Amino acid sequence: MRSTFLITAAAIATAVSAAPATLQKRATTAQVIETCTVPGTIALTFDDGPYEYTWDLAETLKKNGVKATFFMNGENWVDVNTQSVQTSAGKKTYKQVIKHVYDMGHQLGSHTYHHLELAGQSTSKVKSEMTKMETIFRSIIGKNPLYMRPPAGAYDSNTLKTLGGMGYKAVLWDIDSNDWRYSEISSLSHEQANYKSVIEKDSKTKPHGHIALHHDVYEKTAEKLVPWVISYIKSKGTYKFVTVAECLGNTKGSAYRTKQ
């Protein structure tokens, strides 16, 4: 679900150096990314997890040769610090679920700690949400993500200034599956139409790059929508599934920073 922007992306987009993430000079305003810059790439992204479907979804994607990006919370559908889940590999803590996603070759990103919409929030509140989530990531993979997604796509000038000062880039999307809206409907017709409304407009010889939004907290998304998306996109024969970092022309490893 995407909220109305309080300012336009064009008004705040900032050029960022191509140097490695740990050596970059922090931008004064976070760059806002709405789509892939590498033609013919598609970055599947998943918000709001981890949840009970995340472990197996990470494996399903890998088995199909798909690398995706997961924007995660610390305390949203579950409390990552205290809760566990029964997976196909046995009972696992949610920290183990996050590590599993990373080990499967997917990219991790921040979605704030409490899934707090950041527009209108104070600098200290934005920093608190982000640093709490950083603590989770460092305890699991030893580093922080470079990319984040603002919950509901909501931000304002202070949000971007604060995120930029912390070294983040904000990732939005140009394909919205709207899976949250149709999670209780068995048919995939709505989600399929949302995909096709974008993909079918692409050139068959030089397709655009795209960032697609989904949520791994819904069973329908994990078990029905994702398999359809993989099959549909592969049937086009012109797209490559990549992480967000890769769809912007960067390496997968550049999606993280080890320094504060």
Catalytic residue list: 47, 215
What is the spatial distance between Cα 188 and Cα 138, in angstroms, rounded to a whole number? 37
What is the spatial distance between Cα 82 and Cα 47, in angstroms, rounded to a whole number? 20
Structure token digits, residue 258: 């080890």
69 φ, ψ to 5°?
-125, 130
Paired with 91 in beta bridges are 86
What is the spatial distance between Cα 190 and Cα 207, in angstroms, rounded to a whole number? 23
What is the spatial distance between Cα 210 and Cα 224, in angstroms, rounded to a whole number? 21
User: Helix axis angle, 189-199 relative to 226-236, nearest 10°?
Assistant: 30
Structure token digits, residue 212: 């697609």
Paired with 93 in beta bridges are 84
Side-chain half-sphere exposure of 241, counting CA atoms within 13 A: 23
Q: Which residue has the tokens 């809760």?
A: 83
Structure token digits, residue 110: 């921040």
By DSSP bridging, strand 256-257 and strand 144-145 are: antiparallel
Between the CA of residue 214 and those of 51, 91, 130, what are the distances in Å?
13, 25, 21
